[in-house]
Structure 1
Amino acid sequence: MELVRVYRSGFHEGSHFGALVVTDPDGEVVHARGNVDAAVFPRSSNKPFQAVAMLEAGADLAGADLALASASHSGEPQHVDRVQAMLAADDLTEDDLGCPEALPYGEAARLDVLRAGGGPRRVYMNCSGKHAGMLRASRVQGWDLPGYLSTDHPLQQRVGAVVARLAGETPSAVGIDGCGAPLFAISLTGLARAFGRVNAAPAGSTEQQVASAMRAAPEMVGGTGRDDTLLMTALPGVLVKGGAEGVHCAALPDGTCVAVKIADGGDRARMPVLIGALRELGLGPDPVFDQLGTGTVLGGGQPVGTVSVAPGLW
């Protein structure tokens, strides 16, 4: 279904298609557009579920460390220093990380590294906090460390079980994410249901610990100027996490959840749909909504159009 329209100089130049679902606190669908039953890879929207599995395995993670284990961070000094400290706490090093080397995701951090003559490192990779958490969970259980990313590793099996339990469905496929970790395909509805359950989980539960840590340290979940960080800072109690290939989730304190999948993976289409849904759910107005809710189309370096929600989405 058409979710987003791109206008240039008043001309309808293009569209982004995909699916949108809203689930209520009981996990039931209350609004759907597109095929919300089709399986999707949650990509990094999966990270809160992976962090739940880490805690269930006994990983000693709390506060900003737990937020970073659920993050797609920008590779800023605050993130890199924290990941290194997480590793050192269990006598681990950057060499133990199984994620690929990368430059920092954040532009300012990336430029700082390059100006200093640096290059790609595993600790800069946006998923390094998650990998540090996985290593710590494996260390405390005495599980194999070099093989912690194998799909048959006990930790990854636990992740799959957590995803199935929270989504209320059996994953239909297993793949490998960009960072090298196993990834479990579920329906967009299942993703919304699972994400909402994490944010509305009972006090003291592992799910509640993850959600609380992410909401309390949004700067660790993303970084300076990042969508998730801006939204969670502006909307206390709301849990937000995006992923690659056009996936994004936002859950309200009561467990109501919005999940978006842009079919072509276009990043520019995610925020207009997500912000539009949050507005329909009664959130805002907020300057962040105005900042993120409509994309800008440039011509000659000047704004000449918009990327906005398609008519009839609600």
Structure 2
Amino acid sequence: MTNPVPMTEIWRGPLAESIHTGQAVICDASGDIIEAWGDPETLVLPRSSAKMIQALPLVESGAADARGLIAKHLALACASHNGAAIHTETVNDWLADLDLVDDDFRCGAPMPMDRTAFDDLIRTGGKPCQVHNECSGKHAGFLTLAQHLSAGPEYTDPDHPVQKACLEAFESVTLETSPGFGIDGCSAPNFMCSLHGMARAMAFFANANEGADARQSAAVRLWQSMVAHPVMVAGEKRPCTELMRACKEPVALKYGAEGFYIAILPTRKLGIALKIADGSKRAANCTIAALLVRLGLLDADHPATLRFMNAPILNRRGIRTGMIKPASTLL
């Protein structure tokens, strides 16, 4: 990552004890940069922030409608969920409708992030299933598309028709030829682009018009599903869910691993992409909140904002020792 700039500061008493650097880009309807921090052309892996792009073929192909998928399913296709009952029950029902089982997933079986689901597994001596994976909604979408295309079961293979469709969509909305990919935590390819390209893609979603063409119609359905079902996108107490609920206008947010974030701002016709250089989640949360405050979409004193931006740091006795705050250049 070239030329990162300060994004989030960690204060202890009177001293900025640590500084997280990174890059951010805001694009307008034409895909042009209206504001940037750092080098917009730095290459990135957007990780789970790209899920709504990966879901475009599911919708525009007609696969989603053929299976009767509704907004909560499409939100899950874009989600990194907690593995709470609200998530796993919906994905399991979706899987059953495809006449498939958990073993048909290719995403792996971690313990759920949701505390109740986690404790239930421990208490009963149960084992996690792949449906508990935070990406199981995306993978249910992949399986739906694979069936629609009459393609084989190894849908995470980069040469599989599902992943070829995802790459075509990715390059179309970023307006870039991807130089390659990494394998994501859920085993699917994650394609590279510039940070500018990712912000440009989010501006495409923000400016898409229902009925203009299949891709634009799909983009509108996906961001609207995320906004309508923020708890499906992440989960209770998660930053994406809380900040989407707190925004004064419709905003679709998606965190990606290693400090990545996107925002789709349909009323402003803007797209945002940011990457924290050291991969810090706390810095990514603070930075996206600061950018939303900067644009007037989020109140600085909203309780959800204050969980992530200007958030107090408490020691083990509950004494305030410092705070997490955005760098002055973001304000």
Where does the alignment leave 5 or more consecutive residues of structure 2 unmatched?
212-216
Q: Structure 2: which amino acid aligns with 1:45?
A: S
8 A contact 2:108–2:186 mirrored in 1: yes
Aligned twin of 1:291 = 307
Note the 1:146-295 alignment, pairs <5 A: 147-204=154-211, 205-235=217-247, 236-253=249-266, 254-285=268-299, 286-295=302-311
Q: In 2, Cα distance between the equivalents of 1:225 and 1:293?
A: 15
Report deviation, 1:310: 1.5
Aligned residue pairs, count: 313
Aligned twin of 2:214 = none
Aligned twin of 1:68 = 76
Aligned twin of 2:99 = 91
Report deviation, 1:246: 0.2
8 A contact 2:289–2:298 mirrored in 1: no
8 A contact 1:298–1:304 mirrored in 2: yes
8 A contact 1:268–1:295 mirrored in 2: no
Where does the alignment leave 5 or more consecutive residues of structure 1 unmatched?
none
Report deviation, 1:196: 2.3
1:54 aligns with 2:58: yes
Q: In 1, Cα distance between the equivalents of 2:192 and 2:269?
A: 21
Q: Deviations over 1:32-82 (max 9, x none)?
A: 111221110010000000111222333223211111111101000010001
Q: In 2, Cα distance between the equivalents of 1:137 and 1:299?
A: 49
Return the match for 1:40 from 36, 39, 44: 44
Report deviation, 1:301: 3.7
Q: Deviations over 1:169-199 (max 9, x none)?
A: 1112211100001110111111111122113
Q: Structure 2: which amino acid aligns with 1:296?
A: P
Q: Deviations over 1:257-307 (max 9, x none)?
A: 222100110111012211111111122323322232223333334321011
Q: In 2, Cα distance between the equivalents of 1:295 and 1:151?
A: 41
Note the 1:131-142 alignment, pairs <5 A: 131-142=139-150
1:121 aligns with 2:129: yes
Q: Deviations over 1:106-128 (max 9, x none)?
A: 23332232223222211100000
SS of 1:83's equivalent in the other structure is helix
Cα RMSD, aligned residues only: 1.5
Q: Percent identity?
A: 37
Aligned twin of 1:304 = 321
Q: In 2, Cα distance between the equivalents of 1:51 and 1:162?
A: 9
8 A contact 2:244–2:250 mirrored in 1: yes
Q: In 2, Cα distance between the equivalents of 1:107 and 1:250?
A: 27
Q: Structure 2: which amino acid aligns with 1:182?
A: P
SS of 2:34's equivalent in the other structure is strand
8 A contact 1:75–1:109 mirrored in 2: yes
8 A contact 1:199–1:239 mirrored in 2: no
8 A contact 1:58–1:141 mirrored in 2: no
SS of 1:305's equivalent in the other structure is strand
TM-score when scaled to structure 2?
0.91
SS of 2:18's equivalent in the other structure is strand
Q: In 1, Cα distance between the equivalents of 2:322 and 2:117?
A: 30
**CA 1:10/1:108 → structure 2, altered by over 3 Å: closer, same or farther?**
farther
Return the match for 1:7 from 8, 11, 15: 11
